[in-house]
Amino acid sequence: MLNSLSDRLSEVLKKIKGWGSLTEKNIRDGLREIKLALLEADVNYKVVKEFIDGATKEAMGEKVIKSLTPAQQFTKVVHDYLVKILGEKAHDMNIKTGGISNIMLVGLQGSGKTTTAVKLAKFVLENFNKKPLLVAADIYRPAAIKQLVSLAGKNGFEVFKEDGKKPEQITGDAYKYAKDHGYGAIIVDTAGRLELDEDMMEELKRIKKVLKPDEILLVADAATGQAAVSVAEGFNRELGITGIILSRMDSDARGGAALSMSYITGKYIKFIGTGEKIEDFEKFYPDRIADRILNMGDVVSLVEKVQKEYDIEKAKKLEKKIKKDNFDLNDFLDQIKQLKKMGPLENILEMIPGMPKKLNLKVDERDLKRTEAIINSMTPEERAHYKIINGSRRKRIALGSGTTVFEVNRLLNNFQQMKKMMKKFSKNKGRMSGDMFSSLMGRN
């Protein structure tokens, strides 16, 4: 996510840290480099200007130059401005407690609307306990309706569709249906076009009139450049959107344009899509994204993601164990099991502070299975005290797990390495490295 911007900015900040003391001149130099990095990442020039003007004023102040840790203060200024252009804080969905909440998704064709509709349905159900009804209003592409029905079905959601009617009629009928059948939310997947188009806007306005939406969310592909900003402006001008969902934040695209959208339209980014799967969907937290971009790591998101899938009590215990250096092979096995549940590991790894962004880690499920098999062949005592696993025990474990002594040795060595790194990491002295995760996966 936003890798090139992140790399460039982290580089500049690292350089500034190397300077030791800061003067007005080198602050200006630093900010010039930040400006270039932002422009190169396709951040809208108006946003860049606001950013640099504000940050310059702030950074030139005594608070930064005369502080004991000028480089850190400077980083904080950059961070805070980034947070500011991203919308300051997370913005909630406008969802009524009682009755039916009406949500309308708009956006260009291929922006990720259909996928997002189902992701949002899941979010609404899980976070507001409202049973969502998806509405297929893209009547021009039978394939789109089929896709919605299939994706929704796989995730246990219902789709309302009607043949031979206009989108606004379908929407009206869906509302009645939802009311009669106890639904708590309606999510209308509207038709997009390849570009902004008058007919499309008129149709959306008619749907809006019927639906009286609580939310009109624009789904925008984060991977499209500056054009996406004017598209957002167009939708906002014509329809008055209430928020933005950025899809494909997982792509390697420059992404700066997407980050400009909120500032330019004055409407907040509320969610991001981070993959094709339904669970690849997150609330948008400007501060966390800024952390990620500046390579400060997104520990909070990580913790949240982990907590959602993890047993919180277990996670707390684990944290304590890591701190006390009591993390053993039983915990390790537990982790592997949990990781397997959590979906694409690459997404998770990306959130860890200091993780090289271009690791290209592809996690092989088979590696996980072998690691599991090896640990399963150990006795409880061995799992709790790995140091007792001597040569003959290793042979027995290899035999029991259908692996080789070489593999058992490798796992134990990696485990030992990992414990060392965890120790460092928990004391906040070191940074996680790619090696740690390779070792977690049982690879060299």
User: Would you list the DSSP string of 302-344?
Assistant: HHHHHHHHS-HHHHHHHHHHHHTT---HHHHHHHHHHHHHT--
Residue bearing tokens 């969502």: 132
Give one word for 428, left, alpha or beta, with left for phi > 0 and alpha for psi -120 to 50.
Answer: left
User: Would you list the DSSP string of 12-52?
Assistant: HHHHHHHH-S--HHHHHHHHHHHHHHHHHTT--HHHHHHHH
- Least distance from C-beta 276 to ligand GDP, angstroms? 4
- Least distance from C-beta 273 to ligand GDP, angstroms? 3
**Measured at the alpha carbon of residue 251, what is the angle toward residues 158 and 119, in degrees to the nearest 5?**
15
Q: For residues 438 and 443, what is the distance between their CA atoms, to the nearest angstrom?
A: 5
Four-residue CA torsion sign, 40, 46, 47, 48: positive
Burial of 320 (0-12, 13-18, 19+ CB in 10 A): exposed
Closer residue to ligand GDP, CB minimum distance, 134 or 294? 134
Closer residue to ligand GDP, CB minimum distance, 87 or 273? 273
Closer residue to ligand GDP, CB minimum distance, 108 or 186? 108
Phi, psi of 282 (to 5 degrees): -135, 150
Closer residue to ligand GDP, CB minimum distance, 147 or 155? 147
- Least distance from C-beta 238 to ligand GDP, angstroms? 18
- Least distance from C-beta 144 to ligand GDP, angstroms? 6
Rg of the chain over all Cα atoms, to the nearest angstrom = 25
Closer residue to ligand GDP, CB minimum distance, 252 or 311? 252
The tokens describing 22, both together, are 């800061």
Phi, psi of 142 (to 5 degrees): -55, -35
Q: For residues 366 and 344, what is the distance between their CA atoms, to the nearest angstrom?
A: 14
- Least distance from C-beta 19 to ligand GDP, angstroms? 39
The footprint of ligand GDP (CB under 6 A) covers 107, 109-115, 144, 147, 192, 247-248, 250, 273-276, 280
Q: For residues 249 and 351, what is the distance between their CA atoms, to the nearest angstrom?
A: 13
- Least distance from C-beta 170 to ligand GDP, angstroms? 16
- Closest residue to bound ligand GDP by CB: 273
Closer residue to ligand GDP, CB minimum distance, 30 or 112? 112
CB 183 within 8 A of CB 100: yes
Closer residue to ligand GDP, CB minimum distance, 115 or 301? 115
3-state secondary structure at position 159: strand
Closer residue to ligand GDP, CB minimum distance, 70 or 273? 273
3-state secondary structure at position 155: coil
Closer residue to ligand GDP, CB minimum distance, 276 or 364? 276
The tokens describing 269, both together, are 């980014």
- Least distance from C-beta 110 to ligand GDP, angstroms? 4
Q: How many CB atoms lie within 10 A of CB 266?
A: 9
Phi, psi of 10 (to 5 degrees): -65, -35
- Least distance from C-beta 436 to ligand GDP, angstroms? 26
- Least distance from C-beta 167 to ligand GDP, angstroms? 14
- Least distance from C-beta 124 to ligand GDP, angstroms? 17
Closer residue to ligand GDP, CB minimum distance, 136 or 408? 136
- Least distance from C-beta 365 to ligand GDP, angstroms? 20
3-state secondary structure at position 362: coil
Q: How many CB atoms lie within 10 A of CB 376?
A: 12
